[in-house]
Structure 1
Amino acid sequence: MRHATTNGDARVWHVSDDLAARYAEGVLPEPEAWSLEKHVEGCGGCAATVSEAVRGTAAGPVLAEIRDAVLASLPAPAPAPAAPAARRPRRRVPHRFARLLWAAGPAVRGAWLPAVLVVAAGALALAYGTGYPGVRALLLAVAPVVPVAGVALSYGPHADPLHEVAAATPGGGLRLALTRTVAVLAVSLPLLTLTGLLLPASGAPAAAAWLLPGLALALGSLALASFVGCRTAALLTGGGWLLAVLGPVPAASSGGAAGARLAEQLSRCLDGVGAQSAWASAAVLSAVLVTARRPVYDRPLGR
């Protein structure tokens, strides 16, 4: 159990030896493990207690060997140049912010965010630069696949060299997968919806009509990934959506006719209480399946 010390009116808890031992053995309940990890971020004494407990387990010698190998592979640090007398000290970026960037995944780093911006800018350029009809319908057809692709690129060995290690920690597994899914949705949903609002309607559904389908497909992809892997799941869900909306549009149609046909097909898939209710139900069922398959996410999902 935790033990507490009193400092004036503040009551601060610290990690006991028993709590550290249960954490090191991997038998500590997940909520308590998260609380412990949060505490040791700012408490050096408790961090040392937990580190000593981990070193006493069977994994301790292995971790020590890995640490020694990593340190041995690092180049020797270059001597720091003498700082001028009037030089102001640099402000260090908080380590928590760095961890947040890593956890958020492709929504804030890598090539995924620029790709989303290119889709939005390309739609606006196509509508107002060339006058191509039916650009909103085309954007609504592509938009639900964007978060699916982000989820596929955000979790698995192909996304993180240390995926196996991260998945085995209390902060990894499903928690990390959901963190990255939320980051992907937080970037793509408002950006592409705003882009849709700026495009001419041309008979297409409302700019926000794709939000529930995008959420349902992202959660469905995450749920399916527990069976077939992230990339295969994304191909199945994203490819199925594109086939459903683009398949009925004849390839030989002119620009105006193809845009009208696509808008008509999207209206069947997106417009109306029935269609939106079906997408909401699909999102809920996917979330339930993700919860039921929770232990699977502690293993690599990169197939």
Structure 2
Amino acid sequence: MTGWHASDALVTGYADGSLPEPDAWSLEKHLESCSSCAARVSRAARETAAGAVLARVRETVLDAAPAPATAPASPGPAPAPARRAPRVRSRVSRWGGAGAPSTRMLWAAGPAVRGAWSAAVLLVAAGALALAHGGGFPDARPWLLALAPLVPVTGVALSYGPHADPLHEIVAATPSAGPRLVLTRTAAVLAVSLPLLTLAGAVLPSSGAPGAAAWLLPGLALTLASLALAGWTGVRAATAITGGGWLCAVLGPVPAAPGGRLTAHLTERLSACLDGAAAQGGWAAAAAGCAAVFVARRHARPLLEER
């Protein structure tokens, strides 16, 4: 029992199916520990058209069920009464099974931290370090900074969908599919890639390139832009668009550099895109704008029905 109780509007909206999804999940969590609100929701559900149909089905099933056999009288003490079933049964865990919240969170984030994507992150970081310190290529940082923003974007694309999760079809049919699951796995992708790639960039020779952490805001903005665009195109198509746009903007002009000065020209491009308060402020504003669009489009059909 809690000190807060559901209002009549919440109970009525939940019973007739018009309550928004976040409010419905919040109410269901409350019903697990509040018997009075559970009774009100049960009563409201019985008063709807669906409740009348379910009542007739229940009566039909009970009429068709065989009568229980009468047990012989026993001289022993009367058995303890059976425990009454709770009026509202807790829904199967939102993340695919029962368990503590931390266990469910790890289950949900699993596809984002296992498989080929995690190995690719390690390969990018280790490859840059090997080129700089063992391969005689001290100019590895600009190339790492150019590729680093694509890593979380690619990780988001590879962590959501049937190609990443063998239970995707089951999860996609639950209220936890869509924005909540995408955000959970995006957070896992960022938690792995941001510190690892930033640390790798910090131990590389600077070569005149921007600082090792200069790519963080662009990486975050591109990731949020992918999530925002996914409301129209789906997750994988959105990440392909944003990642391709970054490559065209940063690496596209590099092959045309005069005199084969590829790394020097790339460093100039990165400095223009990443260095300075104006550039970083622009990326921060872009990230905030994309986050707002994602929130507004979080229930869009292409995101929810990603296949």
- Pair 1:120–1:232, CA change in 2 (3 A): same
Match for residue 263 of structure 1 among 258, 261, 267: 267
- Pair 1:248–1:162, CA change in 2 (3 A): same
Match of 1:283 in 2: 287
Q: Does 1:172 align with 2:177?
A: yes
Match of 1:245 in 2: 250
Structure 2, unaligned runs of 5 or more: 58-97
The answer as to whether partners of 1:226 and 1:301 remain within 8 angstroms in 2 is no
CA distance in 2, matches of 1:226, 1:158: 20
Deviation at 1:289, TM superposition (A): 0.9
CA distance in 2, matches of 1:288, 1:241: 21
Question: Secondary structure at 1:295's aligned position in 2?
Answer: coil
Deviation at 1:251, TM superposition (A): 6.6
* Deviation string, structure 1 residues 231-253 (Cα, Å, up to 9, x no partner): 11111111111121111212788
Deviation at 1:140, TM superposition (A): 0.2
What TM-score does the superposition give when structure 1 sets the normalisation length?
0.70
CA distance in 1, matches of 2:29, 2:126: 40
Match for residue 277 of structure 2 among 268, 273, 276: 273
Q: Does 1:292 align with 2:296?
A: yes
Q: Does 1:142 align with 2:147?
A: yes
Matched length: 259
- Pair 1:133–1:167, CA change in 2 (3 A): same
* Deviation string, structure 1 residues 41-100 (Cα, Å, up to 9, x no partner): 899xx99xx99x8x9798xx9xxxxxxxxxxxxxxxxxxxxxxxxxxxxxxx95544422
Question: Secondary structure at 1:202's aligned position in 2?
Answer: coil
CA distance in 2, matches of 1:101, 1:251: 46
CA distance in 2, matches of 1:247, 1:218: 20
Deviation at 1:278, TM superposition (A): 1.2
CA distance in 2, matches of 1:153, 1:40: 36
Match of 1:225 in 2: 230
CA distance in 1, matches of 2:205, 2:286: 29
- Pair 1:42–1:142, CA change in 2 (3 A): farther
CA distance in 1, matches of 2:151, 2:190: 9
CA distance in 2, matches of 1:240, 1:197: 26
Match of 1:124 in 2: 129
Deviation at 1:122, TM superposition (A): 1.0
The answer as to whether partners of 1:34 and 1:171 remain within 8 angstroms in 2 is no
Structure 1, unaligned runs of 5 or more: 5-10, 62-92
Q: Does 1:189 align with 2:177?
A: no
Q: Does 1:199 align with 2:236?
A: no
CA distance in 1, matches of 2:243, 2:173: 29
**Alpha-carbon RMSD:** 3.9
Match of 1:153 in 2: 158
Deviation at 1:13, TM superposition (A): 8.5
Match of 1:88 in 2: none
Deviation at 1:182, TM superposition (A): 1.4
Match of 2:25 in 1: 34
Identity %: 65
* Deviation string, structure 1 residues 120-156 (Cα, Å, up to 9, x no partner): 1111111111121320000000000000001112223
* Deviation string, structure 1 residues 175-227 (Cα, Å, up to 9, x no partner): 22112111111111111111110100001000000000000000001111111
Deviation at 1:172, TM superposition (A): 3.0
The answer as to whether partners of 1:101 and 1:108 remain within 8 angstroms in 2 is no
Return the index of the structure with the highest Cα Rg: 2
CA distance in 1, matches of 2:21, 2:233: 26
CA distance in 2, matches of 1:38, 1:161: 28
- Pair 1:32–1:226, CA change in 2 (3 A): closer
CA distance in 2, matches of 1:19, 1:161: 36
